[in-house]
Structure 1
Amino acid sequence: AVAHTVEDQAETFLLRLIRGAGPRGLAGIRPRAGRVVRPLIEIRRAELRSWIAERGHSFREDASNADLSIPRNRVRHELLPYLAQHFSPGIVEVLAREAAIARDDEAYMGGKAIDLAGLIVLRETDSDDGGPRVRVDPIALTSLPSALGSRVARMALDLGAPGRFAGFEHVARFLGFARSARPGGSLSLPGQQAVRLEQEIVLEPAPPRRAADRGSNSFRFPLSIPGEVVLAAQGWTVEAAEEPPQAAGEAGELAVRVLASAVQFPLVVRSRAPGDVVRPAGMMGRRKKLQDLFVDRKVPRALRDSVPLVVDATGRIVWVVGEPVAEGFRPGGASAGVIFLKARRLGGPG
């Protein structure tokens, strides 16, 4: 049993709403999840503290709960009190009720989607290269209402690459592929690729990288928050989140903090392009050709096309993977609105 309270539920709902979560995310913290139960999920935090005090019990307060650079703490100490004072004194219970409604709706729609997936999605025995192969009926999939089609599509992607993140953009791209791809067409997705055959789509493990592939092709993919872009040919994954990546400590060469207010969204992960310039950290805002930066850093010519760049909607380079975040995007101190970017080489730790 864990001691989440109704405030934790309200905070989770707001955090996920701000990030653009769908019904599954807005369902919030489940009162029971497997062997984990949350018996206090409908109790106010003040009630719990009062109960503890009346009985003379002690408890420990995590000092990090006061750190306003953490999004949940800003929601807890700033946003929720503001909403309670200026909009609704009962906002915590309202948000918890909305989470319960979303949870009930998701349970019903999820059950329907599971039934439909049994008719539309077929997981075969493992393919020759050791991964799962999933077959999907594209006509049946795209004939579903969007609320069910997106759920069935996500189930198919989860079957094809267990444990890999499939976000809204991935599901939308896959559904678009199912509607319009011609036989022989393919689509790269996290940990897998979709191939259109005459009557079906096959999801199979992404092909292994070949040395000849590295740096041979340009790439450009949207990066959602939270989200992940998998660059199988280049050997990288790039992730974005509003909270620190679980495995990251101090921001270093492969994990950086970005000031959200300095960025024009959406973000994109792409390869270099002619004329690219960057404002490297420590150069007082002066611009430098990306080509010159690579030369200074002694990046081999054959690898330069494979270095991921995180770019905002205006085309400004926010981060060259392997370098500090660009000047103008670095947060100062305990800045509010921080995005965490992390890059990891495939086949090794991040």
Structure 2
Amino acid sequence: MSSERPLLPETPALHEVRLAVRRWVAAHGRSVAVGLSGGADSSALTAAAVAEADSVRAVVVDHGLQPGSGDVAALAAEFARSAGCGSVQVVRVAVTGPGGLEAAARAARYRALGEARAGLPVLLGHTLDDQAETVLLGLGRGSGARSLRGMCEFDDPWGRPLLGVRREVTRRACAELGYAPYEDAHNSDRRFTRVRLREEVLPLLEEVLGGGVASALARTARQLREDEDALEELALQLLAEARAGTGLAVDALAGTPVAVRRRVLRRWLLDSGASAPTDRTLRAADELIGRWRGQGAVAVGGGPEPGVRLVVTRRRGRLIVEFVGRRQGADD
């Protein structure tokens, strides 16, 4: 590594953050971009990335949601330069769109980071605590293993080296750097579900269950992610075997474990133009295989015009997807 990089203090919290980043860059690439907000997590991440990666491009996203947001972005950019980032860019975004303020801000941030990353993987400051909150949100929504698996260490182009590091560690790391990170008022605004999970639900669970809950939730996410990856691999193999033109051969799917079969159906429906099939939709489509009794088509999406919808039907030993203008029966 270049001797021109600022030397970091040999202190416990910074060392823990650096080790996490060191493992990530060794596995996934030594030239990175970093999404920097000025908060403790992304600031500690940025300093560690400069120490461990070969080159670091800092991208500061200014959401413009609060008075003085431009000043906060400028201070974050100044920190990135002082930390030794090779390039620093501030991007101002407009937060609009569906799903509420949190979702709209997240979508705008990811778009901006994606456009500014210059082909590099983007490191994000999500910590073990963020992972625990994500698992709880998925659990409360009944989203299944796909959601409970939480965030990935690397989901190209998004990298999350700190998923094994507690939020309190990044705060201590900033203190060890002598840097006072920005405290976003939205992070303590209890109108937001994630804030209430952070400040009310997780502390209560820690008290009732005797501690270690956040780490246990993150560990559960990791185990589920490994299981989900294995099931997805089996589903891909089965999908290749079951394809019959644009449809699926029922005989190739009948008798297979339902957990794998529904993953086959989900991937096939997405490939066929359905948008994010729900658990209810997948179960209804699966009954065309596992509990066949001559039932009609299952709606899986909207059509190109009013009155038309996308449906999956069992016909002559195959599942097919087609647009129909009214409910059709099966002729199997």
Tell me the TM-score normalized by structure 2: 0.56
1:315-334 mapped onto 2 (5 Å cutoff): none
AA aligned to 2:301 is P
State whether residues 181 and 196 of structure 1, in contact with CA within 8 Å, keep that contact through their aligned partners in structure 2.
Answer: no
AA aligned to 2:168 is A
Gaps of 5+ in 2: 1-122, 303-309, 328-332
Paired residue secondary structure (1:40):
coil
Paired residue secondary structure (1:152):
helix
Tell me whether 1:35 sits opposite 2:157 in the alignment: yes
- How far apart in 1 are the matches of 2:182 and 2:265? 44
- How far apart in 1 are the matches of 2:202 and 2:299? 41
Greater strand fraction, Structure 1 or Structure 2: 1
Greater helix fraction, Structure 1 or Structure 2: 2
Distance apart, 1:181 and its partner CA: 5.4
Question: Which residue is 1:198 aligned to?
Answer: 316
Of the structure 1 ranges 138-147 and 78-87, higher mean CA displacement relative to structure 2 is found in 138-147
CA displacement 1:5-50 (0-9 Å, x = unmatched): 0000000111101111222211101111012111111111010011
Question: Which residue is 1:112 aligned to?
Answer: 234
- How far apart in 2 are the matches of 1:105 and 1:111? 10
Tell me whether 1:22 sits opposite 2:134 in the alignment: no
Paired residue secondary structure (1:41):
coil
Moved beyond 3 Å, runs of 4+: none
Question: Which residue is 1:188 aligned to?
Answer: 299
State whether residues 31 and 41 of structure 1, in contact with CA within 8 Å, keep that contact through their aligned partners in structure 2.
Answer: yes
- Root-mean-square deviation (CA), in Å? 2.0
State whether residues 6 and 41 of structure 1, in contact with CA within 8 Å, keep that contact through their aligned partners in structure 2.
Answer: yes
Paired residue secondary structure (1:180):
coil
- How far apart in 2 are the matches of 1:199 and 1:172? 19
Question: Which residue is 2:247 aligned to?
Answer: 135
Match of 1:52 among 174, 182, 185: 174
Tell me whether 1:71 sits opposite 2:193 in the alignment: yes
State whether residues 196 and 202 of structure 1, in contact with CA within 8 Å, keep that contact through their aligned partners in structure 2.
Answer: yes
Question: Which residue is 1:88 aligned to?
Answer: 210
State whether residues 4 and 41 of structure 1, in contact with CA within 8 Å, keep that contact through their aligned partners in structure 2.
Answer: yes
CA displacement 1:153-174 (0-9 Å, x = unmatched): 1111111125x12111010010
Paired residue secondary structure (2:320):
strand
Change (3 A) 1:116 1:45: same
Question: Which residue is 1:144 aligned to?
Answer: 256
Alignment length, in residue pairs? 197
1:1-350 mapped onto 2 (5 Å cutoff): 1-122=123-244, 134-161=246-273, 164-178=275-289, 179-180=291-292, 182=294, 185-191=296-302, 192-204=310-322, 206-207=323-324
Gaps of 5+ in 1: 125-133, 218-350
